[in-house]
Amino acid sequence: MDCKRFEELLVDFVEGELDNSGIEAVKTHLLTCSSCSREVEEYKEIQRMLSEESIPQISSEVQARLSKAARGELTKDTPPFWKRWYYSPILVPIFSSALAFFLWVSYGQNNIDFLPPDRDVYSTEVMAKKMPASEEPSSPALGQSASEEVGSHPGRAFSKKTSPIIPKASALKSEAQVAPLPAAPSESEDLKGAMETDKTSEFEAQAPEASLKSRELNEPLRQDSPRQEFAKDEMLKAGDEKEERLEINRSDERMLLYSDPHDDYQSKLDLALKQQREGNCDASIKTNQELLKANPYPPQNIAEKAYLSLAECYEQKGDLDLAILNYKNVQEAAFDQAHLAKEKIEILERKTGLLKAKELEPSGVGESQKTK
C-alpha cells in the first residue's frame, strides 16, 4: 500500500468503515510510514477536540413558542365534525343498520300478528286472565250491573225467552264467563251467551253437579259486604263512565279480533242464528250451509253450532228427517253435546214414528171404514 492509497482509505479507517483485511493493510502501512501515522493521529486529535463540544440548550422561550405553534397548527387542521372518522361512509351504514336490527329485535316482533297455534288463546279463561284486575268480574257491583245490563239487553232477552226455566245462577255463570270477555263483538257475545245458556239449561238435567258448581261459584257474588256495598254505590255513581270505558275497550278488542279469519265464521254463524231467531228458517239454513261448505272448513266449535242451528231450523220447519241427520252431525262433531243430540234424535225419531203412525192411522181407518 502506498500513501496515495492510504489517503483514499483514511476516512474509512478513522470512521471504522473498513473490513478486517483493509484494517490490516492500513496498519502495516502505518508501521512503515511515519507521516501517514501522524496524519491519523492528527485526525484523531481533531475528533477528540470535537468530542468536547457541548450541546447548547434551547432557550425556554423558543421552546414554548414552538410548542404553542405546533398546537396551533394541529387545531387548525382538525377536520370539521362531519369529516371525522366516525362519519366515514363505511361506519355510518354499519352502525345505522345495526341500530335498526337491534330495534327490530327488541320491539318490532311484538307487532307481528300470527295465528295462535291453539284456539284456546281466545277462550274465556285466557281472556279473563288477560283482563286488568280492575275489570275482573270478582267485583260484585260490576257483576250485578253487568247482569242488569244483560237483563235489559235484547240479546239477553232472547236467551230468557228461549229458556225461561234457566235458574239465575246459570245466567250469572254465563254472564261471569262473558263479562270478562270484551274481546268479541257484543252482539256475537250475546248470541254466544244465548247458546251457552241454552246449553246449560239443557245440561241442567244431565249434569246437576255442574250447575251446582256454577251456583257455588256465583254465591259470593251475591253476598254484598258493607265495603262491597260502598263499592257498588261508587260504581253506580260512576256507572255510566265505566260502561263507556268498557265499551271503548270492547270496541278496541273487537278491532283486534276482526283481523282473525276465525271471526268470519263467527259472524256467519251469528247471522244464521239471528235469522233462526227471527224465524227465517230458510235463510238460516242457507247461511249455515254456506258456512259449512266454506273452505277451509270452519273450526270445530263453529261447525257444531252450525249443525245444531241447522237441526233446529229443520225441526222448526218440520223437516224431521233432515233435522235428525243434522243432530247426528252434531253428535259426531261435538262429543260434549253427543248426549243432548242423541236425546234429541230419540225424541225426533219418536215424533217421526208417531207422525208416520198418524199418517198410517187415518188411511188405515179409512180402509177399515171402507172395508166396513
Partner 1 sequence: MFRLKTEKEATDEESMVRFQNGDAGCFDLILERHGGGVLRFIMKMIGLDKVRSEDLLQEVFMKVIERRMQYDQHQKFSTWLYSIARNHCIDFLRNEEHRRHASLDAPLNYQENDAPVVIDFIKSRERDQEAIAIDRETQELLQEGIRELREEYRDVFLLREVEGLPLEQIATITEAPLSTVKSRLRYAYRDLRDMFIKHGYFREEQRVKEV
Residue-wise DSSP of 76-112? HTPPPGGGSGGG-TTHHHHHHHHHHHHHHHHTGGGG-
CB of 65 or CB of 358, closer to partner 1:
65
Does 60 contact partner 1 by CB under 8 A? no
Least spacing, CB of residue 100 vs partner 1, in Å:
33
Does 10 contact partner 1 by CB under 8 A? yes
Least spacing, CB of residue 28 vs partner 1, in Å:
13
- The contacts of residue 201 (CB under 8 Å, 6+ apart) are 163, 165, 166, 170
Least spacing, CB of residue 79 vs partner 1, in Å:
10
Least spacing, CB of residue 87 vs partner 1, in Å:
17
Does 59 contact partner 1 by CB under 8 A? yes
Does 90 contact partner 1 by CB under 8 A? no
Least spacing, CB of residue 81 vs partner 1, in Å:
15
Alpha-carbon distance of 253 to 232, in angstroms, equals: 26
Alpha-carbon distance of 90 to 79, in angstroms, equals: 18
Alpha-carbon distance of 119 to 183, in angstroms, equals: 14
Which of 154, 272, 338 has its CA nearest to residue 162? Answer: 154
CB of 11 or CB of 236, closer to partner 1:
11
Q: List helix spans (H) across 52-185.
A: 60-76, 91-106, 124-130, 140-152, 154-162, 168-178
Does 113 contact partner 1 by CB under 8 A? no
Does 21 contact partner 1 by CB under 8 A? no
Does 52 contact partner 1 by CB under 8 A? yes
- The contacts of residue 246 (CB under 8 Å, 6+ apart) are 135, 182
Q: Which of residues 324-343 bind partner 1 (CB under 8 A)?
A: none
- The contacts of residue 306 (CB under 8 Å, 6+ apart) are 269, 272, 288, 291, 292, 298
Least spacing, CB of residue 255 vs partner 1, in Å:
59
Does 71 contact partner 1 by CB under 8 A? yes
- Give the interface with partner 1 as residue ranges (CB under 8 A): 2-4, 7, 10-12, 15, 17, 33, 35, 38-39, 42-43, 45-47, 49-50, 52-53, 55-59, 62-63, 65-67, 69-71, 73-74, 78
